[in-house]
Amino acid sequence: MTFRTIFERTIRYFVAFFIFIYGAAKPLQFGTKENLPDIPVSEMTGMELMWSFFGYSTELPIIIGILQVSGSLLLLFSRTKIIGILLLLPIMANIVLFDLFYQVHRGATINAIVFLVILIGLLFFEKQKLLQVFKIITSKEKKNPKAIQLFFICATLAATLFFIYTLILQKQT
């Protein structure tokens, strides 16, 4: 067992523990519609506005919580840690942005930033695997002599579908 292995696993478990707790508590975090502040939106602080937004729906915080709990559980196992990191990165980035732009309490914002930085740092431990995947995804395919023709056919079909779909939507409104 190397220091790197112990360090990586320790910080992975650390962030998994905290995100699990936050995710499990998410359905209770924002309250309910009945607890919304009875003041005009223009008089709300950023945090009150955000809390009202998330508190309006019971389903959204539950979904976010389930994703946080799922991602944190995936972090616990070596075989699934990359999937957990990739699941949690956009969630934590979103939380950081909300915290910053809606002036959430400083401690919560710092925690979210720390957890996001740790998740990004954990990706660096997996850079070889990620580079292999990136090479596979971006590798050149065999030249298709009909690639231009295929592009125009597919683009024309996609544009046609777009217009038909738009017409259907307009008829429904």
Q: Dump pLDDT digits (tens) for 116-163.
A: 999 999 999 999 998 998 888 888 777 778 888 999 999 999 999 999
Residues 127 and 170 in one domain: no
The answer, yes or no, to whether residue 69 has pLDDT greater than 90, is: yes
Residues 54 and 76 in one domain: yes
User: For position 48, what pLDDT does the model report?
Assistant: 85
Q: What confidence tens digit (pLDDT) does each residue in 41-60 have?
A: 888 888 888 888 888 888 99
> Residues 68, 95: one domain?
yes
- Orientation angle between helical segments 81-101 and 106-125, nearest 10 degrees: 150
Q: Does residue 74 sit in the same domain as residue 116?
A: yes
pLDDT of 67 reads 97
Question: Are both 30 and 101 inside the same structural domain?
Answer: yes
As for how many domains the chain has, the answer is: 2
Do residues 133 and 150 share a domain?
no
Per the listing, tokens 């009945």 go with: 34
Are 55 and 103 within one domain?
yes
Average pLDDT over residues 73-97: 97
Statement to judge: residues 35 and 98 lie in one domain? yes
**Mean pLDDT of the region 166-173:** 87
Question: 102 is in which domain, residue-wise?
Answer: 3-139
CA-wise closest residue to 33 among 64, 65, 57: 57
Rounded to an integer, what distance in angstroms lies between the CA atom of residue 168 and that of residue 153? 23
| Per-residue pLDDT band at 165 (split at 50, 70, 90) | very high
Say how far apart CA 142 and CA 144 lie, in whole Å.
Answer: 6
Q: Do 157 and 134 share a structural domain?
A: no
| 3-class state of residue 102 by DSSP | coil
Same structural domain, 34 and 86: yes
So what's the pLDDT on residue 23?
A: 95
Of 17, 2, 6, 8, give the one whose Cα is nearest residue 111: 17
